Structure 1
Amino acid sequence: MNNYDNLQKVLKEIFEMDKADLDFGIYRIMNQKRRQVMDFIERKLPEDIKNILAQTQTKDSITLQKELEQVGKSLDDAGVVRESSPKYLALRQQLANAVDTNALEQEVFSHLANFFKRYYKDGDFISLRRYKKDVYAIPYEGEEVKLHWANHDQYYIKTSEYLKNYTFKLKDGKSVHFQLKEASTEQNNNKTQGDKERRFAIYAEQPVEVVNGELYINFTYEPQPKSVKQDDLAKEAFDVLVKAVPAEFALAFDKAPTEKDKNRTVLQKHINDFISRNTFDYFIHKDLGGFLRRELDFYIKNEVLYIDDINDRQPEFFTAQLSKIKAIKTVADKIITFLAQIEDFQKKLWLKKKFVISTNYCITLDRIPEKYYPEIAANQAQLQEWKELFDVTITTAEQLAFEPYLVLDTKFFSEEFKDRLIGEFDNLDEECNGLLINSENFQALNLMQEKYQDTIKAIYIDPPYNTDSSEIVYKNSFKHSSWLSLMHNRLIKSKMLQQENGFLFIAIDDLELFKLNELVELLYERENFYSKY
């Protein structure tokens, strides 16, 4: 494999060209640019490099070699000694000083491949600035102490946000959808109870459906004994689908081999991708374009432009070097622009305030007009909750007048009833003395920013301890770095809500105690600590 082939391979991996059959979410956006990206990688990229190098190389070594051979042959035919010809000697000197443009092209391809693959791993760009072999540099801005981690400039994205359907297309254009028929998720980092963990499994009651010519494959996501492995459930799902998938979707069983599994099918590939996508958390870079451009400058200064060569090189060498640097920087900037557009779009989606799916109110009966009592007393779900929570049995509407502090939950009532009841309050916000948000924590904090900024007196959080029993599962195994990014993203949002004299309490165990201490000190400064243990 030559350097250009290697660069193509790296770029196709970064742009996820192998996922052209996926038809949901960000992949739809990428598919819109896929043809443009492929045209750039396969055609424009080598043309751009060749044109840039040609601007400063009037004649490369191949052209000079051909011209030298022609002049030499003419001199031989005329019976003239080659070394007696000034023109021949001048061309030979030019050839000795010339830099092979083709060799320069290969160098540019090699540098571009090396640069991009060192920051990219399994779908994410990791901030590892390599100074030299096994030595990395960190961005330092004169702080007394610098806390740095591999994912410090990224948003940590929890998989619970993406527990959604998955779609891909077969070669004949038919769509296949994976959907969850039954799913339960633990919200807000609650652990699964007992000796169980959630696993994906085929929905045995109805594994497949065909709707309007499209295939739907049904999964469940439910607690399973820890002894039941996800890989075994995935294999079981495939065995069921071999028999259940209709013949018109037979292309789902085409081969999609890997080095380890030569018999892997398209369907097996997507089952594994679907499970992985909803199992591993990942990152979105906060400023991918700025990060890669800064790293490119560092890379060029550190690994392309060698200052020590200034005194012992011919001027032609530096002309070639400048040409090479220009080619690397120009082409890399175009690639970075493509990548940044995709990453920035994902960032906008992540930071965009999410829709509130449902809103309910808990209201004590003393605030509710008695005209609503007959409807309330007729609601069996509400009556059952009062029995379970307060051991209060209500059988008639009249009894409600003697229970003024029973709490009505509007989730048990129709939207029409809820609208009428809420309409009884002139200023609902002022009368509410508590707010409960059931959400992914970053999105909840983001939603609260405008209304609650600088108003919160005390914050108590109980984050995942990142121990073996509750370890956050990040695909690159940057265990502590991933955890720090999760905490950093959310603590910054929390701090913006606090009053100047507010308190922050964090429950943590020994494993991440010291890293958390450094992080909180970075955000709040040491003099604001009341207690660290």
Structure 2
Amino acid sequence: MNFFDLIDAINRRNQTIRGLNINTKEKRFLDELESLFIGAEVDGDSGFVNLMRMKHAYFQSIRGALMQKIDVRAAPQTAFREELFDKLYTFFHRYFCESGSIYFRHLPAFSKTYERVYADGQDVALSWKTQMLYYVKSDVLVRSMPVELSEEGKPQNTRRFYFDASKVEHKKNNERRDFIFAFDEVKRKTTGKVIHLNVSYSQRGAKTKTDDILKQSRKDGVSLSGEQLQKAIGVFRRQTEADFFINKNARAFLREQFDLWMYQYIFSEATVFEQERIKQLQAIKDTAYDIIDFIAQFEDELRRAWEKPKFVRGVNYVVTPDKLPAMFCAR
């Protein structure tokens, strides 16, 4: 191989590596946008779960249109496309939480959520992170999940579980209800045997029948102790509790925050104000605004539904016979 062939080979390798980095950053942003915008995947059957499914379908419907606009502004396999997705990720990941709510997840120093309290000694700045939000509810995100318990240096003692919460209905009005667990089956996987347990809410004081689970597991070839079962159940119970909010004006909130972020980025970095660079910065802003508009369309629908007056559609009265005149009680 001569010198020029070597240079060509190095250039092709660098292009390949750069392409892999671009794809990685693009995938990272799109995955994060989907998971953070939609929120954590929740199993079960309720109005909230149906809402999450609608939100997921909405995101899939707008994803194609969004990618078409991005392809026009930043061609695939270019360095600017890599920067575009990196900047979008840097901004948006601060304002979404795993419940899908839009607010100050990571509060920036330049936000307008601070209130000054004047005292004789020293001024205090207070942050009001939920000022622009309607509070909906707090709940535990009940999700199907695998649990693996292992002992260091003892792979033969590893126990694998899968908690199936797909049939769990969401609680109403934040009522307190405990989980109960029931044996389903033992599945053979390449990694070993997995004990499947069904999860449901307790009714009429029902309790988990631990002895039945241990007995069924041994019958299917898995030696399981009560301590191991309780540890696995403890891991399942420690799921994330989340607050659910609706943003009163998601479009105005996110656009204001992006403008502040863009201002700080431009004047804190060593930006060269050439024509090509100005076009790139405008492309970043236009793309961010498009994403904000897509998000705000759905959030505005939620807000309108939340603010809609609740009308009384029917009233019925129950009156005992002793309150009625005798003429109405006559047979």
The 2-side partners of 1:45 and 1:370 are apart by: 78
Q: How many residues align?
A: 248
The aligned amino acid for 1:178 is: K
Kindly state the Cα deviation for residue 8 of structure 1 after the two structures are TM-superposed: 2.1
Equivalent position of 1:301 in the other structure: 263
Unmatched segments (≥5 aa) in structure 1 = 54-100, 167-175, 188-196, 208-216, 244-263, 376-533
1:323 matched to which residue of 2? 279
Indicate yes or no: 2:87 matched with 1:125. no
Q: How far apart are 1:13 and its partner, in Å? A: 1.6
CA distance in 1, matches of 2:290, 2:172: 43
Cα–Cα, structure 1 residues 179 and 373, in superposed 2: closer, same or farther, change >3 Å? farther
What is the aligned partner in structure 1 of residue 167 from structure 2? 178
Partner of 1:47: 71
Distance 1:280 1:219 in 2: 20
Q: CA deviation at 1:129?
A: 7.0
User: What whole-Å deviation, never above 9, does each CA across 1:80-118 have from its counterpart, x for those lacking one?
Assistant: xxxxxxxxxxxxxxxxxxxxx933332222110000001
Which residue, 7, 14, 25 being the options, matches 2:36?
14
- Say whether 1:342 aligns with 2:298: yes
TM-superposed CA distance for 1:372, in Å, is 4.5
Shift of residue 44, structure 1, vs aligned partner:
2.1
Name the CA distance, whole Å, in 2 between partners of 1:39 and 1:105: 17
Query: Paired residue for 2:50?
Result: 25
Q: Displacement of 1:364 after TM fit?
A: 8.4
Identical columns (%): 23
The answer on 1:138 being equivalent to 2:112 is yes
Q: Does residue 111 in structure 1 map to residue 87 in structure 2?
A: yes
**8 Å Cα contact 2:137-2:244 kept in structure 1:** yes
* TM-score normalised by length of structure 2: 0.55
Cα distance in 2 between the residues matched to 1:219 and 1:355: 34
Root mean square deviation of aligned Cα: 5.2
- TM-score, normalization by structure 1: 0.37
Larger Rg: 1
Letter in 2 for 1:158: K
Q: Distance in 2 between matches of 1:22 and 1:37?
A: 25
How far 1:347 sits from its partner (Å)? 2.1
Matches within 5 A, 1:232-271: none
Q: Which has the higher strand share?
A: 2
Matches of 1:19 and 1:301, distance apart in 2:
35
User: Partners in 2 of 1:309 and 1:281 — Cα distance?
Assistant: 40
User: In the alignment, is residue 200 of structure 1 matched against residue 174 of structure 2?
Assistant: no
Q: Secondary structure at the match of 1:295?
A: helix
The unaligned stretches of length 5 or more in structure 2 are 1-20, 119-123, 144-164, 185-197, 218-231
Decide whether aligned partners of structure 1 residues 151 and 48 sit closer, same or farther in structure 2, where only a CA change above 3 A counts: farther
Answer yes or no: is the 8 Å Cα contact 1:156–1:283 preserved in 2. Answer: yes
Which of 152, 170, 179 is matched with 2:131 structurally?
152
Instruction: Indicate if the aligned counterparts of 1:26 and 1:346 stay in contact, CA closer than 8 A.
Output: no
CA contact (8 A) 1:284 1:343 kept: yes
CA deviation vs aligned residue, 1:9-64 (integer Å, no higher than 9, x gap): 222222439859988521342344343233246x425403326x9xxxxxxxxxxx
